[in-house]
Amino acid sequence: MATAELPRVMIAGLAGDSGKTLVSLGLTRFLKNAGRRVAAFKKGPDFIDAAWLHAASGAPAHNLDTFLMSEEAIRKSIGEVSGRADLAVMEGNRGLFDGFDALGSHSSAELAKLTGTPVLLVVDATKVTRTVAALVLGCQKLDPDLPLAGVILNRVGTRRQEKVIREAVQTTSGLPVVGVIPRLTAEHLPSRHLGLVTAMEHPQVTESL
């Protein structure tokens, strides 16, 4: 079944702990609150993030993985929800190009290309400005076939920092900065050795979302 029928976006990052889950959950819950039916997907066999996406969307989340699933199975999984969803949010894992080997096989980037899903890249802006543009440009140059559509800045400290990064990214790469998240004082999604604290164990799931 073709996957092009379901509008979708992948939220990816340069590394773990860049803010992918924060953005994926926030975007999913925002769309749900706006009355949209959101199908949520998590790249890789990650049950913790998938459970959080379930809590945010109000519907079961699905896992997608090119190592464990055939291309046909991935397309079928996306196609099966297209009739009962308005759009899909896919959360990548690890860094955008991190995969099974040095070529990045089975990475989030490969899943995005396989499914034709535009990628929004979440970048941790802690203590950097124009270097963000170099990182984004590097992603473009490393794989020109990747449908990289925009950038979301996370952990931004000041309005001036935001302005400088926006201008640098857009001038250098041509990509828009579509969102900015300030440094948050509260830890809404606490982590431990296996990843996030599960939604089942979190004391304030609704408030955090």
Tell me the average pLDDT of the chain. 91
Q: What is the pLDDT of residues 154-176, one digit of tens each?
A: 999 999 999 999 999 999 999 99
d(CA 10, CA 4): 14
- Per-residue confidence (pLDDT) for residue 199, from 0 to 100: 54
Provide the residue count of the chain.
Answer: 209
Q: What is the pLDDT of residues 182-198, one digit of tens each?
A: 998 766 665 655 565 56
- Per-residue confidence (pLDDT) for residue 179, from 0 to 100: 96
- Per-residue confidence (pLDDT) for residue 2, from 0 to 100: 43
- Per-residue confidence (pLDDT) for residue 195, from 0 to 100: 62
Which domains, and CATH codes, for the chain? 8-203 (3.40.50.300)
Alpha helices in the chain (DSSP H): 20-33, 47-57, 71-81, 108-115, 131-142, 159-173, 205-208
The answer to whether the CB of 48 falls within 8 A of the CB of 196 is yes
- Per-residue confidence (pLDDT) for residue 173, from 0 to 100: 97
Please identify every stretch of the chain with a pLDDT value under 70, giving residue numbers as ranges: 1-4, 186-205
- Per-residue confidence (pLDDT) for residue 3, from 0 to 100: 53
82: tokens are 């297209």
6: tokens are 């379901």
